[in-house]
Structure 1
């Protein structure tokens, strides 16, 4: 049976949009095929920075002829009912309908609608422009004087259809002034010449010859394996990062793995700061020393070209930028260390937590009080629990967290340890946000447990007090996650807590008046019960 090959060739598509766009193309086209009476055997979508591609196998040469009997109104029915029936059945007059008899209801009109089969190539050409015109890009653009939109300027469309044993035909249609054909281009820098393709096997092979790896998962495998080999050759280990791997695979069509280095002096910065700086600014992977577990002063970068000098100039350019970015990170680190975390507390009074729930400084005071209440219940030292709660949010106004919000809590632990706070206090500052998801670890130290529970229970009671509860799929304040976090902390640490009493305590300290505390407690406990059911089912 014939196969369908589609390719949409454009300027660079943002990496974060590629995989979803490929799946959308597959879904839209295959649904349209089925709706047109063209069932298929299989389909697979692909994406590179410059193209979306789709291969649909086993498409019939045409749709089957159909015959449908559509029942209409009774003979003698009002004129408007008859007109509606004729319009819906596509008949020009009532004489074109037949009359059938129902022993119970009498005579009624029946339209016999016969549709001849149509060729697949005509049906595909008919529905493709509409699919492209309404393609669901998260963001799109217009260019020149063209009325339609696409994620980036579209250059060409490949659309071929035919059996394996014959020369395929071009599915002829036009979109935004671009006529479909069978010509595409290779890698922008390494093999940019145009070439013709016939069907998928030919297409994928020719792309490879023109320095394009079509399959994103294969690009990921190439990057990961080559990066590990490079690290091994240096006596180091790659610090794997699935999110970064997915992103860089969407930035290159022909991945080339290179390694660079930075000054060892930068290793005085916490490893997480180094990794995030290099990841965010240069999309590079970091390496670690397997003997110490600490980062090494080496990194792995992914190029999209095979350079004549072996990549020396590319590496030097990345090293220059990374040196500047790490210099910034070291400045933030050193500046933050000059002040104590407690010096940051007055700054929290001017940081708004929520319009109705006060500042972050006010929230910290609530966390201190609630942590003190929870500490004896979980066998934690009250003073340490309250100290950890007092400092838990202090790193939010630090230079490093301002630059990298992802490091909140973690930087607080580093700063607390550097200024001589108790190890349990420092650990609780990092752990009080946990667990942040079903796969995240749960705090185990009693001090961390008390502050983590206080953080989540204050959040829940506060938003319940102002009636900002999750609705449907919307949960902007992650309240479901907070409730599940409380449940996991209690269960996994084998604790017994009268949750209703703690909810009352937390609710009384909120910045708003609560008219019916009993109702709030009852409703929130029911919410916990629902989250518990979900957790146990999982």
Structure 2
């Protein structure tokens, strides 16, 4: 069968930059699915995306579907022919329905019954017929939140469609897609080369557009931007801040990228750099520059969509646009300094945190009480922790945070430094919100760790205390994320404290505000313990490892973490599968018949295998007991792996449920001793292999 290279291009008005890459990938995926469903083989599909176009190049695609046979089933052969071999009424009805004669009837075996059928030859449809349908279906299935109609067209798309190209090698495939007749004409850069371009064939696409100042390949365009931005940053010994989302968005805004470096007045560097970076990135789509110490430099890089004869005009224009935005940030910063942080508590007293839990100032006072109590666990200075807690929410009333909400905490850190607070107090104001998301950094200061814990514990305990725990997809106070944050803050700072004790401290800070302390304690503890699975699954830990530890219900997150790490390590040992299976067998035996109290009686050991296991248990127990006491579970389980051979030999050569009651009791006691050693870490019988 012949093969062809196909080019499809949908030309539009400027597509939404934040969605361009997603639209390209979805068009690619939907087209791959459509071709496979249609039975059309191909070598590869290259997907392209630029501000005014989505395109696909399908390499070596089949010219048509393969011819097939379709089977139409009739009655059983026995019912289809009479004793003389003539068609019965049943067969005649089947033939009438299919429009065939008796010589076209075939038979096939359906289980034990032979049935008649009609095998109809179905000719495969051509690529020219199928492809327009596949492409239109792909466009209809793109993830577009809001579709629009343009002019008199009834079809909808994310932006008005202007032209459609559909080429099979050098031939146009006759089709109407998105109400536009397909052709071989595309268009170049809106300003540099707006005239029509007739494509000679599908392979000419990229080069023809490049000549017309359009880089259609998204990744190629992005690489050009990366190179230009780095070169401009290197010229002033700086490093460009290039967030992935902004990089994609800028790539989606330009057809012919030209990066230019501009500057702003150095006086603005006195303003918190986070505010300046935020306004330049979010509002102007600029790449900011920092030095090796991550300090903002008075430059930024803009990526233009035209190759100007006088780039200085574009640079000056951007400098003119950014100046008022930086001036606003400077104004807010200076205004805020007229009022000390501590004096803002009056405004916090008028801001509701939650109707039943009081104001933000009530919360600040609770956090302060809780932070002092937590200092004994975190090692923070109680005075620093209390002061930081009372200042923690004050910057929420500032002008700077009002304009840049993402600077909550960060603004407080700047103002606290200006007011002469020590580093622990000042840094903790920004650290209180860490970690903000899965995998985010944790606070570096002990005061910050204390504040971050206190804030989350206060919110979680309070919301459970008023009966508004998360349900289904509703979690307005982000308690699930807070819970993971609490677990990380405890485990990664080696804080040996139980979840129950943490919730009790939070309840003590609430006092009479919460009515049912016992129920709140039980609900909040259960919720936090229920987040272990999400936390460790995110780290790639297998579910059975987590369940093996959960079976023992450790009270401390730190202890839980050490056990999970130990079982995760044990799971990869060559002895793990056999010992997990043996533990499962032991658990099943002891579930049916509990071991009698008392120690194993050595005199009642008669089989060599049980004597060997007893000797190994006697030898290994004093080795692992101190490891358990030190919570060195990884070393303990590694040592217990040595039991594999004697345990296997025991089950191969010893009948546990012996007729002799003393032998049986002795063997059950030995199995209980074995099981007890392993369950000091986890229930490894849960492990799947």
TM-score range, shorter chain: 0.7 to 0.9
Match of 2:159 among 149, 152, 177: 152
Matched ranges for 1:188-267 at <5 A:
188-267=190-269
**Structure 1 counterpart SS, 2:447:** helix
Cα distance in 2 for partners of 1:97, 1:370 equals: 86
Aligned to 2:493: 493
How far, CA to CA, are the matches of 1:191 and 1:498 in structure 2?
Answer: 68
How many angstroms does 1:203 deviate by? 0.3
Residue of 124, 135, 149 corresponding to 1:128? 135
In structure 1, the residue corresponding to 2:536 is in which secondary structure?
Answer: helix
Task: Quote the residue 2:435 is aligned against.
Answer: 435
Q: In the alignment, which residue of structure 2 is the partner of 1:294?
A: 295
**Distance in 2 separating the partners of 1:124 and 1:358:** 63
**CA distances 1:263-299 after superposition (whole Å, capped 9, x unpaired):** 2221211222222222222211222345x65322222
How many angstroms apart in 2 are the aligned matches of 1:403 and 1:73?
A: 78
Deviation at 1:323, TM superposition (A): 1.1
Partner of residue 528 from structure 1, selected from 527, 531, 537: 531
CA 1:352–1:68 in 2, change beyond 3 Å: closer, same or farther?
farther
Which of the numbers 48, 51, 54 marks the counterpart of 1:52?
A: 54
CA distance in 2, matches of 1:134, 1:537: 33
Structure with greater helix percent: 2
Q: Which residue is 1:43 aligned to?
A: 45
Q: Hey, what's the Cα distance between the residues in 1 that align with 2:135 and 2:462? A: 51
Paired position in structure 2 for 1:64: 66
Deviations 1:354-392 (A, max 9, x none): 456544333323322322221111111222212212222
Contact 1:400–1:411 (8 Å) recurs in 2: yes
Contact 2:461 2:520 in 1 (8 A): no
Distance in 2, matches of 1:476 and 1:171, equals 52
**Conserved in 2, the CA contact under 8 Å of 1:133 and 1:148?**
no
Q: Which has the higher contact order (CA 8 A, sep 6+)?
A: 1
Counterpart secondary structure, 1:380: coil
Contact 1:379 1:446 in 2 (8 A): yes
- Give the Cα separation in 1 of the matches to 2:5 and 2:353: 57
Q: Distance in 1 between matches of 2:496 and 2:370?
A: 17
| Cα pair distance change 1:513/1:191, threshold 3 Å | farther
Q: Relative to structure 1, is the Cα distance of residues 431 and 74 closer, same or farther in structure 2, using a 3 angstrom cutoff? A: farther
The answer to whether the Cα contact below 8 Å between 1:464 and 1:524 also exists between their aligned partners in 2 is no
Question: What is the aligned residue count?
Answer: 520
Once residues 110 and 439 of structure 2 are traced to their aligned partners in structure 1, the CA distance between those partners, rounded to angstroms, is 64
Distance 1:358 1:8 in 2: 56
Matches within 5 A, 1:478-489: 478-489=478-489
Q: Secondary structure in 1 aligned to 2:213?
A: coil
SS at match of 2:530: helix
Q: Shift of the alpha carbon at 1:109?
A: 6.5
Distance across 2 between alignment mates of 1:97 and 1:524 = 67
Counterpart for residue 391 of structure 1: 391
TM-score by length of 1: 0.88
* Post-superposition CA distance 1:395-420 (Å, at most 9, x none): 12211111111211111111111112
Secondary structure of the structure 1 residue equivalent to 2:377: coil
- 1:243 positional shift: 2.9
- List aligned pairs for 1:377-526, cutoff 5 A: 377-465=377-465, 466-469=467-470, 471=472, 477-507=477-507, 509=510, 513-514=515-516, 516-526=519-529
Name which of 277, 280, 283 aligns with 1:278. 280
Write out per-residue CA displacement over residues 157-187 of structure 1, whole angstroms, 9 at most, x where no aligned residue.
Answer: 111123xxxxx32222213431111111000
Q: Is the 8 A contact 2:168 2:202 kept in 1?
A: no
2:679 corresponding residue in structure 1:
none
CA gap of 1:107–1:289, structure 2 versus 1, over 3 A, is closer
Structure 2 counterpart of 1:537: 540
Rg (Cα) greater in structure: 2
CA distance in 1, matches of 2:443, 2:484: 13
Q: Give the stretch that moved more between structures: 119-128 or 346-355.
A: 346-355
Q: Which residue of structure 2 lines up, in the alignment, with residue 79 of structure 1?
A: none
CA contact (8 A) 2:464 2:524 kept: no
> How has the CA–CA distance of structure 1 residues 527 and 101 changed in structure 2, closer, same or farther, with 3 Å as cutoff?
closer
TM-score (norm: length of structure 2): 0.70
SS of 2:62 mapped into structure 1 = coil
